[in-house]
A and B are shown apart, each in its own frame.
Chain A
Amino acid sequence: MEKARIFLTGVGGQGTLTATNLLAQTALEQGIYVTSGEIHGMAQRGGVVVSTILLGGLKSPKIGPGEADILIGFEPLETYRGLPYLVPNGVVVSSTESVAPVAVSLGKAEYPDITIIEHAVRKVASRAILMPARSLGKKAGAIQSGNIALLAAMLATDVLPFGVDALKATIERNLNPKIVGVNLEAANLGAEAALASNA
């Protein structure tokens, strides 16, 4: 894929922007022109956070409906909400572990059934990797590293001109040495999950 638009969506406080920055940094270190954008505004915590990465010379940081080649969802409801931004037959990588919005916690709204979300994703994506990202992160050593597992899973599908090794190299070069090990492990778990989903 020479040019690619990646749409990332999650919940404030999840580390969506940190993950976005790391993926953008990986692309840059691979010599690919990258433009990234983020909208967080009032979402200190608990609101929706949307970010974008555009590779290969695209200048606009905004992704419109039907324009995203890849959708990375850090939370399944947000994956569902973001689905209209996906190009038909795009790639979806999403966590299956939910973070309930307040209205749901209050019993005033219903969280959609996860099987409905999974079905909706599989119906429209050419490739869908759905994985329990937080659990994988926990297994690697830190819940937050589940975001890295998602990025690695996406890269393991070879849709971009660089793969998991490039992400790992960027992790080693840029993260605090104390958390490099956990994140490398999370990348391995994510890549494995992607391969398993292909089976």
Chain B
Amino acid sequence: MPHPLMDTKPGETRLLLGNEAIVRGAIEAGIDCVTCYPGTPSSEVPDTFYRVKHAAAENADYHFEYSPNEKVALEVGGGASLAGAMTLVTMKHVGVNVAADPLCTIAYVGSPGGLVLLSADDPGCHSSQNEQDNRIYGRLAGLPVFEPATAQECKDMAKEALLFSRRTGRPVLLRTTTRVNHIRGPVVFGDVSEPARKADPKPFVKNPSKYVPIPAFARSMRLALLDHLAAVSAEAEQSPWMTERGKGDVAVVATGISRAYMNDALEMTGLGDTIRVLELGLTYPLPEKRLASLLGEVKKLLVLEEGEPVLEREIRELAKRAGLDTEVLGKMSGVGHDFEHEGGIGLPRYGEYETRVAANALQKLVDPSFTPEAPATAAEPVEGLPTRPPNLCAGCSHRALYYAVRQQFGDNAVYSSDIGCYTLGILPPLSCADFLFCMGSSISGGSGMARFDKRPVLAFIGDSTFFHSGITGLVNAVFNKHNVLLVVLDNRTTAMTGHQPNPGVDATLAGENEVKVDIEAVCRAVGVEHVRKVNPNKLNASLAALSELAELPGVKVLIAEEPCVLFARRSMGRKPTVIADVAEQGPAVDACLESLACPAFYREDSEVAVDPVQCSGCMVCAQVTKESEESGAIKARKRG
């Protein structure tokens, strides 16, 4: 069955997710190669490429791969582009940190086939450990930056960014934010182009002085990059992604999703006719001449941008350089980030904006005495409502392993966590995450901790994260003789981002993975002497392995292997045959509920029951109650 992204006719309109629209834009541009590491809010971009590729194999003529990490993704993409392939590399904002090393040099070497790096930033930390503003990477590495605001622009700008990159032979940053990635709106489809490598081949021609950045060559590459940015700057003055409208002696400049908030706010406040508006789509390098002339024609200019005051700084500097005393307002106005602070205009340097934030700033721009009123809401927030923190699923084998860990170590160990579902083990009663830095840091961070803390240190990592960058930490731990127990929670998929394959999985959407990389063999190969493997749903086996490994010095690895329960059901077709049943109420069942905290359990009046819809039949609970005197408290019964 063809994929809707491929079988929709040009000129037709479809409701698309921003991330899906990016895929369509790339296909319309003539994409040849896509590499990625999944990460919210970017994940639907590669997932859609993957599905389109396998649903419409013949007319989806591009190479697609899930990479073990972002650095690898960008390096593969860089090589493909040198060979003439039009390439898109996708990742979330923190992934660009991992890819920063090749990024800053690929900008020198160039990308003749075209190379767009999608950075999906996450203001508000909806699913991330920080909210860094990756427009700064554009400045650091020297990449032009495109910032869409609607689903239609996601498609159009992805296409434009790829074509722009191919035309200039240099990489481009396509920067989105969560709200843009997860916006859904109408998108008018355009024509699909033949793959660029076929329509206009650009075979690699050896030229070390251009492509090999040894110091002597890197110096001239740097100059060429600066020339390129100057040329883009001149082009930016005429960019079709820049629109200007309105009249008056105050102006607003906006980018990214702030443009959506601004446009709704202008309509909401009725200020649309009294303010000059400049919307920027290509946001680096800036159209300095246009901005300078705007600055010269108004008394005050407001900059609307989420995150860091990136444009604001540049525009302030521009005004200074042009000898203009135009007042520039934004995050840097006043000392603080809200109206209570003197001179502030209510634009914070953290979190997300929304229409009201933009409306208040616009009102304040027009009338400095304006003080915003609290929004009229139907109801005040109710304090003390039970929260719904994200939780390990019912039947998740991570829960079983964490339960065993607590039995063995309790609070007398330090737990070094990593990025993945298993981070949710932070919640009591499991409480198995004491600290965390970034993807792949558990073993290395744990090693450092173990050097200076007397308690045993356990590091937890998932299979995908192990391949992402856990391996290097493990190599270091062996080499430097650290004293740490690494638990690889191998659920046979990349669960948190939506079940993407990694180099260790048994099967992908495309079929069996014939060349899977064996984690146990990797651990042994890098020099780990003590490696044990258990099925975490078998508590006794986990406890025995943990107690044995705890006594040993040096680097130890326990691999807890059991497929993610959702993946097993949805993709592997595993049908649970049994269901847990509370046969006997009493302290054993109560203790099980409190120490395992499986979400399939619930308390009704004073009785404990199991929700048959949620229960996956893992029967870990029965093993927990078996340890008690009332050994038959929870039993398995046939499903149905």
Contact = CB atoms under 8 A, between A and B. Distances in A.
B413 interface: no
B385 A77 contact: yes
B379 A84 contact: yes
A114 interface: no
Contacts of B393: 44-46
7 contacts: A36-B15, A38-B184, A42-B390, A48-B388, A59-B263, A87-B377, A109-B386
Interface string B398-432: 00000000000000000000000100100000000
Interface stretch (A95-103, A160-168, A179-187, A190-198): A95-103
A47 B376 CA distance: 28
A61 B378 contact: no
A62 B355 contact: yes
A-B interface, 3 closest residue pairs, ranked by CB to CB distance from nearest:
A41-B127, A66-B377, A36-B184
B137 interface: no
Contacts of A59: 149-150, 259-260, 263-264
Contact of A105 (B182, B261, B603): B603
A63 B380 CA distance: 16
Interface in A36-73: 36-48, 58-67
Contact of B602 (A38, A78, A105): A105
A61 B41 CA distance: 15
A157 interface: no
Contacts of B566: 44-45
Most buried by B among A42, A84, A89, A104: A42
Interface string A107-121: 101111000000010
A132 interface: no
A42 to B, nearest CB: 4
Contacts of B390: 12, 41-44, 46-47
A66 B382 contact: no
B3 to A, nearest CB: 15
B378 A88 contact: yes
Interface of B: 13, 15, 40-41, 126-127, 149-151, 178-179, 182-186, 257, 259-261, 263-264, 352, 354-357, 375-382, 385-391, 393, 421, 424, 495-496, 566, 593-594, 597, 599, 601-603
Given A60-B355, A64-B355, A84-B377, A103 B386 contact: yes
The dominant DSSP class at the B interface is: loop
A25 B186 CA distance: 9
Contact of B260 (A60, A88, A101, A105): A60
B126 A41 contact: yes
Contacts of A105: 593, 599, 601-603
A97 to B, nearest CB: 13
B7 to A, nearest CB: 14
A135 interface: no
Contact of A37 (B179, B357, B385, B602): B179
A74 interface: no
Contacts of A28: 13, 15, 186
Given A37-B183, A41-B127, A44-B390, A62 B352 contact: yes
B386 A104 contact: yes
B355 A42 contact: no
B385 A87 contact: no
Contacts of B386: 77, 101, 103-104, 109-111
Given A35-B150, A39-B126, A46-B599, A66 B184 contact: no
A104 B178 CA distance: 31
A124 interface: yes
A24 B14 CA distance: 11
Given A67-B355, A101-B387, A38 B185 contact: no
